Structure 1
Amino acid sequence: MHGQKASLLAGRGVEFAGAAIEDLLKKNPNLTIEKDGLVFFQTEGDMTITIRVVDELGKLSLRTVYEANGVKNDRVHDEYSRLIKNLDIEGGPGLAGALADWIDSDDEPRLYGAESADYRAAYNKPYTPANAYLESVDDLLMIKGYDPEIFRLISPLVSAYNTGGLVNINTAPEEALMALSDDMTGELAKKIKGARASSPFRNTSDLMKVSGF
């Protein structure tokens, strides 16, 4: 019964958060969601749940780094590799290669990657690559090289649900902005965040008005 009550409360919490966001947008059409998201609380009786709403499009896409056939999307791959480098995470090529082998449909390990034999032998894992897209960011923890510390650094900045591969400049955290280009410095990313706080970007022309472009 307790589990059923929690499930019902969670469902109502989603409805509550949706209504709250709609109300906020009426008051402020230029509402933006920062890295930590929008937080709402829903209480019913002796139970309270916390609802955090984040924009998955403000994160780098794990869905489009590689196609299902293993073909690399150069732009998104470069963004992902740049993110790993900017976070001072060692073994960037290995992380990208292991992610590709997890997604692609073959069983041939690429350079720095890992396929079925690697998981069974070297890593003593009771499973093999899914040969499918990640269902959630948590799946990274099953992939070669993604230990809890690396996951802690990467997970807030990447999404398994961003299927288009583009990043929403109006909600992307500073680290994600810096991964978009080698020319995107920390200073420029801060300027973008400051500019969008008062007036969200509507198009590329608006973005180009930021000092530093």
Structure 2
Amino acid sequence: MIILVVLGFFLVLSGVISEEFLTVRQTEVMVRRFYLKQQAYHEAVSALKFLTLYFKEDDPSYDTLNDRWAYPLEFPVPEGEIRVRIEDEERYLNLNLVRTEAGFKLIERLFREIRVTSLSPELLRVWVGGAGFWDRTYPPKRAPLDSLEELLFLGMSREDFYGKAEGLTFYPGLSMLTTVWSNGRVNLNTAPPEVIMALSPRIDRALAEKLVEYRRTHPLKKIEDVILIEGFNFEILHDLRPWATVKSENFRVTIEVRVGEVEGELKTVVRRTGSGFKVLYWRFS
């Protein structure tokens, strides 16, 4: 009997010790992960500061997909690595242009080209403060879009937002072609065909793809250079002048960091300045 009591005591004691050991171990893991997350954050911030050199050395008179900033960057850090991607915002069409009559025509052409049906450009125009009829039960925002995700709030389908396939044809979603961060002009050196087509009713897909092919080896150093491309004329140039550019001002920077078993991601939008860049948006997760 005494032996059973002693054995039971030791079993209970070992259970308590095991539980305490697990608690201590879990605490150690939590502390380590917190430390590594902090380290990942500081590595991401350091990488962002390093990118200042990219913009200082870059020729600001025109920007292309062959520039140094346009290529992914990877480099090691203690216990891990960093991956950096940079995209210019001026390659996209700014949806806030929809508020004006002239800008509305651009957005309408883009919606039509990629077959957006779940949200009308007319409703979007009213949402950001333009003229038109509002048929929702809640009031319109009547202010510029702060993020593209507002389109989902307005009822846009995920297919129209992220992209969809119809038969053998893939239609990119608005999240792949639009922005709220650009200066309103589209960089002809970096824009995808669908965005180029939206800038003029005279530009069809064949012409847009000719421009994309031409700029691979002949970067446009001024808007007037489009006349050098077969099929482009002065009427198209006239259409492009209010909306097009050959340089970019705002950039979307994504920095992915892995330190040990912990990963972190810094998403930011920066505006190029004479001395480097200014941060417009910042989120670390």
Q: Is TM > 0.5 for Structure 1 vs Structure 2?
A: yes
TM (normalized to structure 2)? 0.56
Query: What is the one-letter code of the residue matched to 1:172?
Result: A
The answer to whether structure 1 residue 168 and structure 2 residue 193 are counterparts is: no
Shift of 1:49: 3.5
The one-letter amino acid paired with 1:2 is L
Q: CA deviation at 1:141?
A: 2.1
In terms of fraction of residues, the more strand-rich structure is 2
Equivalent position to 1:133, from 136, 144, 152: 144
The reply on whether 1:33 has 2:65 as its aligned counterpart is: yes
In structure 1, stretches of 5+ residues that fail to align are 67-72, 119-127
Q: Could you say if the C-alpha distance between residues 7 and 143 of structure 1 is closer, same or farther in structure 2, counting changes exceeding 3 Å?
A: farther
Letter in 2 for 1:171: T
Offset, 1:158 = 0.6
Q: Do the aligned partners of residues 80 and 33 (structure 1) sit closer, same or farther apart at CA in structure 2, a change above 3 Å counting? A: same
Larger radius of gyration: 2
Determine the structure 1 residue equivalent to 2:88.
55
2:62 and 2:220 in contact (8 A); partners too:
no
Q: Could you tell me how far 1:114 is from its partner in structure 2?
A: 4.7
SS in 1 for 2:97: coil
SS of alignment partner, residue 161 of structure 1: coil
Give the deviation of 1:192 after TM superposition: 0.8
Q: For 1:114 and 1:2, locate their aligned partners in 2 and report how far apart those are by CA, in whole Å.
A: 50
CA distance 1:50–1:203, shift in 2 (3 Å)? same
The structure 2 residue matched to 1:159, chosen from 179, 201, 206, is 179
**Aligned residue number for residue 149 of structure 1:** 159
1:4-19 alignment runs, 5 A limit: 4-19=38-53
CA-to-partner distance for each residue in 1:13-64, whole Å, 9 max, x for gaps? 22334434655x47xx976128xx5322243223334321111111111122
Contact 1:33–1:54 (CA<8 Å) still a contact in 2? no
Question: Within 2, Cα distance between the matches of 1:48 and 1:95?
Answer: 43
In 2: Cα distance, 1:89 partner to 1:18 partner: 38
The one-letter amino acid of 2:158's match is: P
Give the residue type in structure 1 aligned to 2:220.
F
User: What's the Cα RMSD here?
Assistant: 2.7
- Measured at CA, do residues 14 and 95 of structure 1 come closer, stay the same or move farther in structure 2, by a change above 3 Å? farther
Q: Aligned partners of 2:63, 2:93: CA distance in 1, in Å?
A: 21
Cα pair 2:62 2:221 within 8 Å, conserved: no
1:101 partnered with 2:112: no
Kept after mapping to 2: 8 A contact 1:174/1:189? yes
Letter in 1 for 2:122: G
TM-score by length of 1: 0.73
Percent identical pairs in the alignment equals 25
Distance change in 2, residues 1:179/1:142 (3 Å): same
Shift of 1:147: 1.9
* Greater CA drift, 96-105 or 172-181: 96-105
> Runs of 5+ in structure 2 lacking a partner?
1-34, 163-172, 233-285
